[in-house]
Amino acid sequence: MSAIALRRRTLPGFGLTMGLTLTWLSVIILIPLAGLFLKSLELSPEQFWAILSSRRTLNALRVSFGLAFAAACVNLVMGSIIVWALVRYRFPGRRIFDAIVDVPFALPTAVAGVALSSLFAEKGWLGAPLAALGIKVAFTPVGIFVAMIFIGIPFVVRTVQPVLQDLDPEIEEAAGSLGASRWQTIVRVILPSLAPALLTGLALAFARAVGEYGSIIFIAGNLPNVSEIAPLLIVIRLSEFRYADATAIAVVMLVVSFVIIFAVNRLQRWAQDRIPMH
């Protein structure tokens, strides 16, 4: 008793906050996920396999993960450029542009979906000129791609922005005075310094795009095997009362997402270890 009393913590409240943390994480995240796995156990391995290997499921997963990854990559590139402009230059309206980045965060996804689909519809402002060029966006996989870019961009910008702000411009001057060209400075000095943040941004934008539902279903056209995303297939299976099918797809999405996030996390840890922050 006295030994414990002597080793009193300088920061009290560990027991209480830790207990609340565990309870809360269990109730909000772990129990629902466990429920999902339990539900999928109602299926025999053969049934499970049959659902997953059906053409429609595979195509839905391919559309979701493939396009989400492509959209995240586009966001990585464009987001980095936006961050660069916002952080490194002072121009009129900078704060407004900075605020605009957050719009996809704040907008209800259904509103975004309606706006995007009317914009890119064949008679829409952007859809009409694109249609004249022979490019159809709305109600095709391209539409899904556009919606995924839309909802993912703030994740890249907001994760990379603070890191770039902390990056001392002196290291660019140092690179320049050592004879590096602008391009060499970007590739050899700036990008490697931003790598952990860029990877985090990529992972977040990707995860968001994989899970996105609201904005996509309006613009996708939802043609099975072509422009049907996995979350929509889950909803369809649910509405058909095929709960086990729905959970099987959900479990696969969960596992794949988890593996990807975990891999990115390792990659990020590796990059971070090489740049210990002090």
Partner 1 sequence: MTIEVKNLVKKFGSFKALDGVDLKVDDGELLALLGPSGSGKTTLLRIIAGLDWPDSGEVSFNGEDALAQGARERHVGFVFQHYALFRHMSVFENVAFGLRVQPRAVRKDEATIRARVKELLDLVQLDWLADRYPSQLSGGQRQRIALARALAIEPRILLLDEPFGALDAKVRKELRKWLRSLHHEINVTSIFVTHDQEEALEVANRVVVMDKGRIEQIGSPDDVYETPATAFVHGFIGESIELPVHVEGDVVRLGDRPLALKAEGLASGASKLFVRRHDMLVGPPGSGAFEGAVQHVRNFGPVQRAEVALSGGQTIEIDAPRDRELRAGDTVGLAPRRFRIFAG
Residue whose CB is less far from partner 1, 126 or 164: 164
Nearest to partner 1 of 103, 174 (CB atom): 174
Q: Write down the least CB distance from residue 274 to partner 1, Å.
A: 6
Q: How many CB atoms lie within 10 A of CB 67?
A: 26
Q: Which spans in 101-229 are helix H?
A: 103-106, 109-120, 127-132, 141-166, 169-177, 182-185, 191-211, 214-220
**243: how many CB neighbours lie within 10 A of its CB?**
13
Q: What is the nearest approach in angstroms of partner 1 to the Cβ of residue 95? A: 22
State the minimum distance, in angstroms, from the CB of residue 175 to partner 1: 7
Two structure tokens written together for 256: 């794949």
Tell me how far, at minimum, the Cβ of 109 lies from partner 1, in Å.
37
268 makes contact with partner 1 (CB under 8 A): no
If one asks whether residue 211 binds partner 1 (CB under 8 A), the answer comes out as no
Q: Please give the angle made by the CA atoms of 205, 114 and 77, to the nearest 5 degrees.
A: 25
Residue 226 interacts with partner 1 (CB under 8 A): yes or no: no
Q: Does 177 bind partner 1 (CB under 8 A)?
A: yes
133 binds partner 1 (CB under 8 A): no
Q: Which of 70, 53, 71, 49 is nearest to 61 (CA)?
A: 53
- DSSP letters of 200-216? HHHHHHHHHHHH--HHH
72 closest CA partner among 269, 274, 257: 257
Residues 81-120 that bind partner 1 (CB under 8 A): none
Per CB under 8 A, 278 contacts partner 1: yes
- Which DSSP state fits 187? I
- In angstroms, what is the minimal distance from the CB of 159 to partner 1? 17
d(CA 80, CA 29): 32
Both tokens of 136, joined, read 């159809």
Distance CA 65, CA 73 (A): 12
Interface with partner 1: number of residues (CB under 8 A): 23
Residues 150-169, one symbol each (x = binds partner 1 by CB under 8 A, - = not), give: ------------------x-
Q: Which stretch binds partner 1 (CB under 8 A): 38-46, 54-62, 68-76, 176-184?
A: 176-184
Query: By C-beta, is 2 or 177 nearer to partner 1?
Result: 177
Residues found near partner 1 in the complex (CB under 8 A): 168, 170-171, 173-181, 184, 188-189, 192-193, 195, 274-278
